[in-house]
Amino acid sequence: MTYAEGHPVRLIAGRLALDFLNTADWAPDGTVLHEKIAGLADLDVWVRAVGLSAAARPSSIDVVHRYRRDLRRLFRTGTGLGSATLQARLRDVDIAGACSLDDLARQPVLGLVALSALSVLSDRRERDRIKTCPGVDCGWMFIDETRNRRRKWCLMETCGNRAKAARHYRRISAKTETA
Q: Residue 91 maps to which CATH number?
A: 1.10.3300.10
Q: pLDDT, tens digit, for every residue of 100-131?
A: 666 666 678 888 898 899 889 888 899 899 99
Answer yes or no: is pLDDT of 22 > 60.
yes
Count structural domains, the chain.
1
- Cβ-proximal residues to 162 (8 Å cutoff; 6+ apart), any chain: 135, 136
Answer yes or no: is pLDDT of 84 > 80.
no
Asked if residue 11 belongs to a domain, the reply is: no
Beta bridge partners of residue 8, listed in sequence order: 2
Answer yes or no: is pLDDT of 81 > 90.
no
- Give the predicted TM-score (pTM) of the model: 0.82
Q: Which residue has the higher pLDDT, 12 or 7?
A: 12
Asked if residue 7 belongs to a domain, the reply is: no
Q: What's the pLDDT band for 57 if we cut at 50, 70, 90?
A: confident
Alpha carbon distance 92, 71 (integer Å):
17
Asked if residue 110 belongs to a domain, the reply is: yes
Check residue 108 and report its DSSP letter: B
3-state secondary structure of 51: coil
Asked if residue 84 belongs to a domain, the reply is: yes
Mean pLDDT of the residues in the chain: 84
Asked if residue 3 belongs to a domain, the reply is: no
Asked if residue 64 belongs to a domain, the reply is: yes
pLDDT of 99: 57
Structural domain of residue 168, as residue ranges? 16-178
Asked if residue 10 belongs to a domain, the reply is: no
